[in-house]
Amino acid sequence: MPKHEIHPDQWIDLYADYLFNYTITRVNDREIAQDLVQDTFFAGLKSMKNFKGEASERTWLVSILKRKIIDHYRKINSNKGKAEVRVQYNDTETEGNWLEERIADPFDKTAEDSMQNTELGNAIHNCLSKLPYKQASVFKMKTILNYETEVICNELNITASNLWVIIHRARTAMADCLKENWF
């Protein structure tokens, strides 16, 4: 099996978006997520010599990121009492321990849905990482960040028709890639 090598100078281009998406589904805050991803890169840099090349770079970085996310939750929960879940009742009418509240709400499908959506999100990022770099970045700016065509054209110094050709190629490749499992 070929050994995986480590190239920190390409980390941001290759993995930043994947790791960021991974984090944001778990912490729900863009700024915190960005900080955690950057912390992960720094930590990776520090422990580069521990990278044995058995797993891929991305898997290795994800394992660091997981620890960073746990640390983050430990930190915000370190003040006792904040970690407890408390239901507040302010009037005597609703006060008490209601049995209805202890069972799962059969109409609450959000947990399952969000789990499926996280998986779909991972699949999308996996497909994105197979695209050529330029296609991926144009597609992300247009489709995920919802940038205006003009803004993208200015930033990347391309014409509008150029952009649409890139978008078309990216969309075709993305649809092909997702088709097997998701469509």
Minimum distance of other proteins from residue 165's CB (angstroms): 9
For residues 94 and 146, which CB has a smaller minimum distance to other proteins in the complex? 146
Query: How many Å apart are CA 121 and CA 140, to the nearest integer?
Result: 13
Minimum distance of other proteins from residue 155's CB (angstroms): 7
Minimum distance of other proteins from residue 71's CB (angstroms): 19
Length of the chain: 183
Query: How many Å apart are CA 77 and CA 70, to the nearest integer?
Result: 11
Specify the amino acid at residue 160.
A
Distances (CA, A) of 118 to 156, 168, 172: 30, 25, 22
For residues 63 and 172, which CB has a smaller minimum distance to other proteins in the complex? 172
For residues 83 and 160, which CB has a smaller minimum distance to other proteins in the complex? 160
For residues 98 and 164, which CB has a smaller minimum distance to other proteins in the complex? 164
Give the footprint of other proteins on this chain (CB under 8 A): 8-9, 11-13, 16-17, 20-21, 24-25, 30, 34, 37-38, 41-42, 45-46, 117-118, 120-121, 124-125, 137, 140-145, 149, 155, 164, 167-168, 171-172, 174-175, 178-179, 182-183
Minimum distance of other proteins from residue 89's CB (angstroms): 33
For residues 4 and 140, which CB has a smaller minimum distance to other proteins in the complex? 140
Minimum distance of other proteins from residue 130's CB (angstroms): 14
Distances (CA, A) of 9 to 13, 45, 48: 9, 10, 13
Phi, psi of 69 (to 5 degrees): -65, -40
Measured at the CA of 151, the angle between CA 39 and CA 145, to 5 degrees, comes to 45
Specify the amino acid at residue 76.
I
Query: How many Å apart are CA 147 and CA 157, to the nearest integer?
Result: 15
